[in-house]
């Protein structure tokens, strides 16, 4: 008999009933250091006092009114994102994949308004992940994502990641945009080369394409900048955000320049729940913390500490750890082929550390941005013990 919950997840048999900062506690009283963060979503940890207070106050006032009326917290959150990014305008929705859908529609509308409706195809890269809608899995193109869901949406051309030659060769008269994650998450914690990101900007400018970044996982401070592309010193035309934007509250956003968004007029797109008072109040509370002077510097500092501790640890486990890679507090341990990432993840749970698997046999480390070096030491000790547990017999 099928479960009452549709069985589309391989859930671990743990149920959490409380959280505080970077820790989660199960209904059996087991305490875990949470280096999963709801897959890079609870960026400020659990039960952050400012977020809790904001949520409680807003919940006692008004949750939802629809986009028929002005929503002051939404206007304020949009204005703050505009002031702190490349963007001139923001559309709010409920999730990353909705932000993706908005971005793809915006790209098509831009070229249609320019009298070039034939420019509808988007170049995407191998190893990408943009969500689970039919459009999004077609954009990513990975076998595990698309198997059984054909026919796919025929609007995407796939090229190698970090490969500008292959990308330029894929441009045709129908190409409308290039879509890339500055740091791939689900695809195996693969950062784009900064020179590659700069080249994407030049290529888009030369060919009249829109540059779209997916910062759903790598944005909102996770790499030590508000958004990861800032490390390259360039800006996109369109960007998706979600996950850390709400600190656990479902909210997504599509950010764009005024020029890119010129076709998005009243009636072209929408969302019932997107940007409602509850979600945008919490989104503003997240920004209150992330934009505090010194907060992102602190993320960068603790991220470098974690990176160095992992680099020091790796040689002690040559049969388990093949490589440590990533950016900021978005790091991945690539396991050797004889060790499954899921086995190492299970061993780390036994040690009290929560992580997330990813493609390319990677164990993802996505701690909340509020960790300090005490938590780094705890995590590395657990990873050391977990590696000893799964190391193949000599």
Percent of the chain topping pLDDT 90: 99
Closest CA to 270 of 101, 131, 64, 122: 101
Annotated binding residues:
129, 132, 214-217, 271-272
DSSP per-residue string spanning 267-333? TS---SSTT-HHHHHHHHHHHHHHTSTTHHHHHHHHHHHHHHHHHHHGGG-TTTEEEEEEETTEEEE
Annotated binding residues for pyridoxal 5'-phosphate:
129, 214-217, 272
Closest CA to 33 of 389, 354, 390: 354
pTM of the model: 0.97
Terminal C-alpha separation, the chain:
44
C-alpha to C-alpha distance for 206 and 204, rounded to whole angstroms: 5
Dump pLDDT digits (tens) for 266-292: 999 999 999 999 999 999 999 999 999
**What is the reported pLDDT for 394?**
74
Conformational region of residue 111, where left means phi above 0, alpha means psi within -120 to 50, and beta covers everything else: alpha
Phi and psi at 176, nearest 5°, equal: -110, -30
Annotated binding residues for N(2)-acetyl-L-ornithine:
132, 271
Percent of the chain topping pLDDT 70: 100
């Amino acid at each position: 008999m099928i479960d009452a919950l549709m069985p589309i997840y391989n859930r671990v048999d743990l149920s959490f009933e409380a959280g505080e900062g970077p820790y989660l506690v199960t209904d059996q009283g087991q305490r875990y250091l949470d280096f999963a963060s709801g897959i890079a979503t609870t960026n400020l940890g659990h039960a952050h006092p400012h977020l809790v207070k904001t949520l409680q106050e807003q919940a006692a006032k008004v949750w939802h009114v629809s986009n028929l009326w002005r929503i002051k917290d939404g206007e304020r959150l949009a204005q703050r994102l505009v002031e702190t990014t490349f963007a001139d305008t923001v559309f709010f929705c409920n999730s990353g994949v909705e932000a993706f859908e908005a971005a793809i529609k915006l790209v098509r509308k831009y070229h249609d308004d320019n009298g070039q409706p034939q420019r509808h195809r988007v170049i995407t890269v191998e190893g990408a992940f943009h969500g689970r809608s039919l459009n999004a899995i077609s954009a990513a193109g990975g076998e595990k994502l698309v198997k059984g869901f054909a026919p796919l949406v025929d609007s995407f051309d796939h090229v190698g990641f970090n490969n500008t030659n292959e990308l330029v060769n894929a441009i045709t008269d129908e190409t409308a945009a290039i879509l890339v994650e500055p740091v791939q998450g689900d695809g195996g914690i693969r950062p784009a080369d900064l020179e590659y990101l700069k080249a994407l900007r030049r290529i888009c400018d030369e060919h009249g394409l829109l540059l779209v970044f997916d910062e759903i996982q790598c944005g909102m401070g996770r790499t030590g900048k508000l958004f990861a592309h800032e490390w390259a010193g360039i800006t996109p035309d369109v960007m998706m955000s979600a996950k850390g934007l709400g600190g656990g509250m479902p909210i997504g956003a599509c950010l764009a320049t005024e020029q890119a968004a010129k076709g998005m007029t009243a009636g072209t797109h929408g969302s019932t729940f997107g940007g409602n008072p509850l979600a945008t109040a919490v989104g503003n509370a997240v920004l209150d913390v992330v934009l505090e002077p010194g907060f992102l510097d602190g993320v960068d500092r603790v991220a470098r500490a974690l990176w160095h501790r992992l680099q020091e640890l790796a040689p002690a486990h040559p049969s388990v750890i093949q490589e440590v890679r990533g950016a900021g507090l978005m790091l991945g341990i690539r396991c050797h082929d004889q060790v499954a990432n899921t086995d190492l993840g299970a061993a780390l749970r036994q040690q009290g550390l929560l992580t997330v698997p990813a493609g390319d046999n990677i164990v993802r480390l996505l701690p909340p941005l509020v960790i300090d070096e005490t938590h780094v030491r705890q995590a590395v000790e657990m990873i050391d013990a977990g590696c000893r547990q799964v190391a193949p017999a000599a």
